[in-house]
């Protein structure tokens, strides 16, 4: 008999078992992930963090998970610099492209100005806004 247990957390062993099962299936069908993290941190003259980008490359694409700039440093070109550096690193890693997501209240128009194209959207996520996925071939 099969039972379904619903919870907000599970033990480490069960999580590892499920994750390893999915990873093994993916590698069998698509090859190794070749996963590598990427952090680009922007600091001002005194070494304080003023912004940054977090990404991960796998399967020959770089995913940008975070790009954030402190309010007082926005609209000065730092976002362009961070994204350009990520694209440079992605090329060095042999990536075919970069993809990311952004809420409509964040920066999808910024990414479009940098050559990214929308390839997916969920409206009312969060309510009154949309979540947008963008990509750029390298």
CB 90 within 8 A of CB 138: yes
| 88 in any annotated domain | yes
**Rounded CA gap, 13 and 25, in Å?**
18
* 3-state DSSP assignment of residue 66: strand
The answer to the question of residue 23 being in a domain is no
What is the percent of the chain where pLDDT is above 90?
100
Question: Is residue 73 domain-resident?
Answer: yes
Supply the CATH number for residue 106's domain. 3.40.630.30
pTM of this structure: 0.92
Q: Please report whether residue 25 resides in a domain.
A: no
Q: pLDDT tens digits, residue range 20-51?
A: 999 999 999 999 999 999 999 999 999 999 99
Cβ–Cβ < 8 Å for 52, 86: no
Query: Is 79 a member of any domain?
Result: yes
If one counts the domains in the chain, the total is: 1
Q: State the residue range of the domain holding 77.
A: 34-137
- Residue 11, in any domain of the structure: no
Q: How far apart are CA 125 and CA 104, in angstroms?
A: 9
């Amino acid at each position: 008999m099969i039972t379904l247990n619903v919870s907000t957390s599970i033990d480490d062993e069960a999580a590892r078992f499920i994750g390893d099962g999915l990873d093994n299936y993916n590698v069998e069908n698509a090859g190794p992930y070749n996963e590598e993290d990427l952090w680009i941190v922007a600091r001002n003259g005194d070494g304080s963090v003023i912004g940054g980008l977090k990404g991960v490359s796998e399967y020959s694409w770089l995913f940008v998970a975070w790009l954030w700039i402190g309010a007082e440093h926005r609209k000065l070109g730092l976002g362009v610099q961070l994204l350009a550096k990520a694209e440079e690193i992605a090329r060095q890693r042999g990536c075919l492209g970069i993809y990311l997501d952004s809420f409509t209240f964040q920066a999808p128009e910024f990414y479009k100005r940098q050559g990214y194209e929308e390839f997916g959207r969920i409206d009312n996520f969060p309510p009154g806004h949309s979540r947008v996925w963008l990509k750029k071939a390298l």
